[in-house]
Amino acid sequence: MQYFFILGRIPELSIVELLKFALFHEGKSFKVKEASEKFIILETEQKIDLSFWQKQLGGIVKCGEIIKEIKEFKEEEVKEILLRESGPTKVGSKIFFGLSFYFLTKKVSFDEIKNYSLSLKKIFREEGISASFILPKEKPFLSTAAIIKSKLLEKGKELVFLIEKDKILIGQTLSIQSIEEEAALDFLRPHHEIEKGLIPPKLAKILINLASVRKEEVILDPFCGSGTILGQAFLMGYQHLLGSDQSQKAISQTKENLAWLKEKFGRVAEIKIFQSDVKEISRKLPPHSISAIITEPFLGPLQVQNQPQRIIENLSDLYIQAFESFKKILKPGGRVVIIFPIFFIGGKKINLPILEKISSLGWKQEKLSSVSRGSLIYSRPGQKVLREIFVFSS
Residues in Cβ contact with 249 at an 8 Å cutoff, skipping those fewer than 6 apart? none
Per the structure, the count of domains in the chain is 2
Within 10 A of 111 (CB to CB), how many other CB atoms are there? 8
pLDDT in tens, the chain (394 residues): 999 999 999 999 999 999 999 999 888 789 999 889 999 999 998 899 999 999 999 999 999 999 999 988 888 889 888 888 665 444 457 899 999 999 876 678 888 999 999 999 999 998 889 999 999 988 899 999 999 999 999 999 999 999 888 889 999 999 999 877 777 777 778 887 655 568 999 999 999 999 999 999 999 999 999 999 999 999 999 999 999 999 999 999 999 999 999 998 888 899 999 999 999 999 999 999 999 999 999 998 866 666 788 889 999 999 999 999 999 999 999 999 999 999 887 778 899 999 999 999 999 999 999 989 999 999 988 777 899 999 999 9
| 57 and 40 Cβ atoms separated by less than 8 Å | no
Domain residues for the domain of 298 are: 179-393
**How are beta strands 94-103 and 157-163 bridged, if at all?**
parallel
Same domain, 301 and 209: yes
**Residue 171: Cβ-neighbour burial (10 angstroms; 0-12, 13-18, 19+):** buried
Q: Could you tell me the CA-to-CA distances from 269 to 216, 221, 367 in Å, in that order? A: 10, 15, 32
Same domain, 164 and 183: no
SS3 199: coil
Residues 226-245: b if buried by 16+ CB within 10 A, e if exposed: bbbbbbbbbbbebbbbbbbb
Report the CATH number that the domain containing residue 96 is assigned in CATH.
3.30.2130
Q: Residue 17 and residue 6: Cα distance in Å, rounded? A: 13
Same domain, 13 and 65: yes
Same domain, 172 and 185: no
Query: Is the pTM above the cut of 0.95?
Result: no
Report the CATH number that the domain containing residue 216 is assigned in CATH.
3.40.50.150
**Domain-terminating residue out of 176, 199, 223:** 176
Q: What is the DSSP string of 241-299?
A: EEEEES-HHHHHHHHHHHHHHHHHH----EEEEEE--GGGGGGTS-TT-EEEEEE----
Phi-psi region of 304 (alpha: psi -120 to 50; beta: other; left: phi over 0): alpha
Same domain, 6 and 130: yes
